[in-house]
C-alpha cells in the first residue's frame, strides 16, 4: 500500500500531485485558505486506497490541533503514523494577527518554539506549521519556501530564521538537510529556485540529486545528466487555444503534434483534450507591443532595438520644416511609431518565452503580460492556463477548478494562473517522493515496525 501524505498551504496541490504521481504516496489531507484551490486539490487527489482527501479550509493559525488529529484518525492514521508532512509556510509579509487571539487553550506547553519565533508576528505561519508537525510526529517533513528564507534575518542574525527552524526540528528528533534546488535540474521546463528543508526521524536524508543540467554545462552532461527541458519541448504539441472554455472533450488527435518529445508525451495523460487551454483577450495597444517582441528578448533590448529603427524611420520620413521631434509626434499620431518603446519598464515586461530555454519562473501574475516573461514564444498572446501548467509540469488531466460552484468551472484565467504560479512543480514533488520512499520502505521492513497500521486505513 502507498505511504500517507498530508500537506498544509497546499494550494491546488502541485507538491502533493508529484507525490501521488510517483505511485508511492496517497494524499490524505490538505489545508489552504483559498476555496477554489482547495477544491482543485481535493478533486485531483482521490485515491482508491484512502478515498477523497480530508480538507481544512481555514487559516492554519485558527486550526485546532485536535481537529487535525481527528481528521487523520478518521483515515486510520494515529499520531506518529503519518508518513510524510509537506508544506510551504510563508515566512514574511502576512497579517499581524497574534496567535493567542484565535487559539487560546490550544497552545502546546511542551513546544519550545515560542521564545524563538513568536516575537515576530510574521513568523506565525512557520511556527504553527512546526507546532502541527510536533503533534503529528510524521516520519518525514518537507518544507518549501523562497530561497531568501535561508538568509532571512531573525533577531538580528542573517540566516537566523532558517537556523531557528532547523533547531526546532532537531529538538523534535529529526535530522535536517536544507538547501536551494532549481526545478529545471529535475526536468521541469522552468528556471525556478526554491529552498527546501528535508527532515527525517527514521534515518538521514540528503536532498534529491538533480537529473538535468544546463546544456552549456558539458561536464554535468558527461556525468549523465540530461539537458534542461525547453519551452518548445513543453508546448509545441498544444494546438491554438479555444476562446471559450469547453470543459475538455474532443479526441487526442486535436493535439498539434502527433508524436511529441518525451516531456510532452509524459504530460499527455488526459483521455480527452486538455482542460483550461484558454487565453485572455488583450487590448490592441498590448498586441502592438508584443508583436514587436522577439523570443527571449528583454524589454531593455527590445526598446533599444525599436528606438534605433524609429530613428532611421524619422530621418527618412521628416518633412520639410519638421524637426525630429515633430516627425516623431506625427508618426506616433499616425500609428507608425509605438510610443511604448520610449518608456522605461521592468526589464522583463512583455518578454516572450525563449523556445530554446526553460521558462523563467512562472508566477501568480503570469496572465499579465506587463509583469513580464509570459508572452507566448510565437503567438501574439499570453500563455494559457494549460501552457502555464505544462511549464510547471502539471499533466494534462489535472483539472484546475476555478470556482466552487456546483458545476465545475474551469474558465477563470486569473484564478487558475494564481493556482499554477503558487504551486511546487509536480515533477519536483515526484523527485522528492521517489527519494523518500526507499527510506520509508527500509523503516517498515524492520521487524519492530510491523504491521503497518498507517497503510491499512479503516473506512466505514
| The pLDDT of residue 173 is above 90 | yes
In a domain, 326, yes or no: yes
Q: Which of 15-24, 154-163, 233-242, 413-422 has the highest mean pLDDT?
A: 15-24
In a domain, 160, yes or no: yes
The grid cell for 280 is 485572455
Nearest by Cα to 11 from 34, 28, 44: 34
* Predicted pLDDT of residue 101: 34
* Predicted pLDDT of residue 452: 47
Q: Is 316 exposed, middle or buried (0-12, 13-18, 19+ CB in 10 A)?
A: exposed
In a domain, 222, yes or no: no
* Predicted pLDDT of residue 259: 79
Q: What is the mean pLDDT of residues 24-33?
A: 98
Please calculate the CA angle 343-344-347 and round it to the nearest 5 degrees: 135
Q: Is 47 exposed, middle or buried (0-12, 13-18, 19+ CB in 10 A)?
A: middle
Q: What is the mean pLDDT of residues 314-327?
A: 90
Nearest by Cα to 363 from 350, 352, 372: 372
DSSP 8-class letter at 152: -
Pair (255, 299) in one structural domain: no
Residue 88 · residue 145 · CB < 8 Å: yes
Q: In 3-state terms, what secondary structure has residue 302?
A: helix
Pair (88, 206) in one structural domain: yes
* Predicted pLDDT of residue 94: 30
Element (H, E) at 36: helix 35-43
Question: Could you give the number of structural domains in the chain?
Answer: 3
In a domain, 398, yes or no: no
| The pLDDT of residue 98 is above 90 | no
Strands (E), 345-460: none
Pair (7, 101) in one structural domain: yes
| The pLDDT of residue 438 is above 90 | yes
Q: What is the mean pLDDT of residues 180-190?
A: 98
Among 163-172, 257-266, 368-377, 403-412, the range scoring the smallest mean pLDDT is 403-412
Pair (193, 249) in one structural domain: no
The grid cell for 95 is 497579517
Q: Residue 450 sits in a domain of what CATH number?
A: 3.40.50.150
- Percent of residues, the chain, with pLDDT higher than 70: 87
Pair (145, 210) in one structural domain: yes
In a domain, 399, yes or no: no
In a domain, 396, yes or no: no
- Which pLDDT band, with edges at 50, 70 and 90, does 110 fall under? very low
Q: What residues does 157 pair with on adjacent strands?
A: 154
Residues 6+ apart with CB under 8 A from 283: none
Pair (113, 191) in one structural domain: yes
Strand 193-200 to strand 175-182: parallel, antiparallel, or no bridges (unpaired)? antiparallel
* Predicted pLDDT of residue 256: 75
**Cis-peptide into 451, omega within 30 deg:** yes
Q: What is the mean pLDDT of residues 202-220?
A: 96
Pair (40, 148) in one structural domain: yes
Higher-confidence position of 108 and 239:
239
Nearest by Cα to 353 from 404, 417, 294: 294
* Predicted pLDDT of residue 456: 43
* Predicted pLDDT of residue 96: 30
Q: Hey, what's the torsion of the CAs at 219, 222, 223, 225, to 10 degrees? A: 100
Which pTM value belongs to this model? 0.88
Among 56-65, 91-100, 245-254, 379-388, the range scoring the smallest mean pLDDT is 91-100
In a domain, 274, yes or no: no
Phi, psi of 8 (to 5 degrees): -105, 150
Determine the Cα–Cα distance for residues 443 and 79; give it in Å rounded to an integer: 17
Question: Which residues are tagged catalytic?
Answer: 91
* Predicted pLDDT of residue 412: 84
Pair (205, 249) in one structural domain: no
DSSP 8-class letter at 156: T
Structural domain that includes position 309: 284-383
Q: SS3 for 307-366, per residue?
A: HHHHHHHHHHHCCCCCCHHHHHHHHHHCCCCCHHHHCCCCCCCCCECCCCCCECCCCCCC
Among 115-124, 311-320, 384-393, the range scoring the smallest mean pLDDT is 115-124
Element (H, E) at 317: helix 299-317
In a domain, 403, yes or no: no
* Predicted pLDDT of residue 155: 80
| The pLDDT of residue 175 is above 70 | yes
Q: What is the pLDDT of the chain when averaged over all its residues? A: 87
Residue 65 · residue 108 · CB < 8 Å: yes
Pair (147, 188) in one structural domain: yes
Please calculate the CA angle 144-145-149 and round it to the nearest 5 degrees: 130
Pair (194, 241) in one structural domain: no
Pair (82, 196) in one structural domain: yes
| The pLDDT of residue 97 is above 80 | no
Pair (68, 157) in one structural domain: yes
Amino acid at each position: 500500500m502507498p505511504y500517507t501524505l498530508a500537506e498544509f498551504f497546499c494550494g491546488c496541490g502541485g507538491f502533493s500531485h508529484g507525490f501521488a504521481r510517483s505511485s508511492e504516496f496517497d494524499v490524505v489531507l490538505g489545508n489552504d485558505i483559498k476555496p477554489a484551490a482547495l477544491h482543485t486539490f481535493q478533486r485531483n487527489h482521490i485515491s482508491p486506497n484512502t478515498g477523497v482527501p480530508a480538507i481544512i479550509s481555514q487559516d492554519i493559525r485558527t486550526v485546532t490541533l485536535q481537529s487535525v488529529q481527528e481528521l487523520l484518525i478518521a483515515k486510520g492514521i494515529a499520531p506518529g503514523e503519518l508518513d510524510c508532512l509537506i508544506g510551504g509556510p510563508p515566512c514574511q509579509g502576512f497579517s499581524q494577527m497574534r496567535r493567542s487571539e484565535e487559539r487560546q487553550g490550544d497552545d502546546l506547553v511542551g513546544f519550545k518554539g515560542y521564545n524563538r519565533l513568536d516575537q515576530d508576528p510574521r513568523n506565525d505561519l512557520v511556527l504553527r506549521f512546526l507546532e502541527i508537525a510536533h503533534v503529528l510526529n510524521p516520519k518525514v517533513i518537507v518544507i518549501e519556501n523562497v530561497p531568501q528564507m535561508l538568509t532571512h534575518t531573525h533577531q538580528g542574525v542573517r540566516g537566523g530564521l532558517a537556523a531557528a527552524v532547523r533547531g526546532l526540528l532537531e529538538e523534535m528528533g529529526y535530522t535536517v538537510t536544507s538547501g536551494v534546488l532549481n526545478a529545471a535540474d529535475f526536468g521541469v521546463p522552468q528556471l525556478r529556485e526554491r529552498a527546501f528543508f528535508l527532515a527525517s526521524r527514521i534515518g538521514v536524508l540528503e536532498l534529491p540529486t538533480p537529473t538535468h543540467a544546463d546544456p552549456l554545462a558539458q561536464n554535468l552532461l558527461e556525468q549523465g545528466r540530461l539537458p534542461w527541458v525547453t519551452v518548445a519541448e513543453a508546448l509545441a504539441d498544444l494546438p491554438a487555444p479555444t476562446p471559450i472554455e469547453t470543459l475538455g472533450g474532443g479526441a487526442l488527435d486535436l493535439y498539434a503534434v502527433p508524436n511529441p518529445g518525451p516531456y510532452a508525451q509524459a504530460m499527455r495523460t488526459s483521455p480527452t483534450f486538455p482542460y483550461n487551454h484558454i487565453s485572455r483577450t488583450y487590448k490592441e495597444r498590448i498586441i502592438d507591443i508584443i508583436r514587436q517582441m522577439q523570443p527571449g528578448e528583454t524589454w531593455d533590448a527590445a526598446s533599444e532595438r525599436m528606438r534605433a529603427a524609429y530613428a532611421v524611420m524619422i530621418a527618412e520620413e521628416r518633412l520639410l520644416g519638421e524637426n525630429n521631434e515633430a516627425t516623431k509626434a506625427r508618426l506616433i499620431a499616425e500609428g507608425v511609431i509605438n510610443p511604448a518603446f520610449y518608456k522605461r519598464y521592468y526589464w522583463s515586461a512583455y518578454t516572450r518565452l525563449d523556445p530554446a530555454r526553460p521558462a523563467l519562473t512562472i508566477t501568480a501574475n503570469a496572465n499579465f503580460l506587463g509583469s513580464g516573461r509570459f508572452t507566448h514564444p510565437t503567438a501574439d498572446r499570453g500563455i494559457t492556463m494549460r501552457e502555464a501548467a505544462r511549464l510547471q509540469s502539471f499533466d494534462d488531466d489535472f483539472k484546475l477548478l476555478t470556482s466552487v460552484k456546483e458545476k465545475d468551472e474551469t474558465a477563470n484565467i486569473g484564478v487558475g494562473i494564481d493556482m499554477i504560479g503558487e504551486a511546487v512543480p509536480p515533477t519536483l514533488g515526484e523527485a522528492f517522493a521517489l527519494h523518500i520512499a526507499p527510506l520509508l520502505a527500509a523503516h517498515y521492513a524492520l521487524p519492530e515496525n510491523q504491521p503497518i497500521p498507517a497503510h491499512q486505513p479503516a473506512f466505514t
